[in-house]
Amino acid sequence: MASCTTFPTRWPDPVSSSGPAQTPHISSVPGCLCPRKRVLDALEAVRDTLKRLAAFLDRDGVIIENRADYVKSWDEVSFIPGALLALQELACSPLAVVLFTNQSAVGRGIITLAQAQAINARVIETVRAAGGRIDGSYLCPHAPEAGCACRKPAPGLLLQAAQELALDLSRSWAVGDAATDLQAARAAGVRGILVRTGRGRTQEARLPALGLGTCPVVDDLPAAVKLILDRIESYRITTR
Ligand SMILES: [Zn+2]
Domain-by-domain residue ranges, the chain? 51-238
Residue 171 in contact with residue 162, Cβ under 8 Å? Answer: no
Rounded to an integer, what distance in angstroms lies between the CA atom of residue 157 and that of residue 134?
15
Residue type, 185: A
**pLDDT at site 237:** 62
Cβ(193)–Cβ(231) under 8 Å? no
Name the phi and psi angles at 192, rounded to 5.
-105, 150
List active site positions: 58, 60
Series of mean pLDDT values for 10-residue runs along the chain (240 residues): 38 38 46 78 66 91 97 97 98 96 97 97 98 98 97 98 94 97 98 98 97 97 97 68
**Å from CA of 168 to ligand 1 middle:** 22
Q: pLDDT for 112-121, tens place per residue?
A: 999 999 999 9
Q: How far apart are CA 35 and CA 235, in angstroms?
A: 26
The Å distance, Cα 155 to ligand 1 centre, comes to 10
Ligand 1: distance of its center to the CA of 85 in Å?
Answer: 30
Q: Ligand 1 center to residue 148 CA distance, Å?
A: 5
pLDDT at residue 239 in the model: 57
**What's the predicted TM-score (pTM) here?**
0.78
**SS3 string of 112-162?**
CHHHHHHHHHHHHHHHHHCCCCCCEEEEECCCHHHCCCCCCCCCHHHHHHH
Distance 184 CA to ligand 1 centre (A): 12
Domain 51-238 CATH assignment equals 3.90.79.10: no
CA of 239 to the centre of ligand 1 (A): 38
191-195/54-57 β-pairing: unpaired
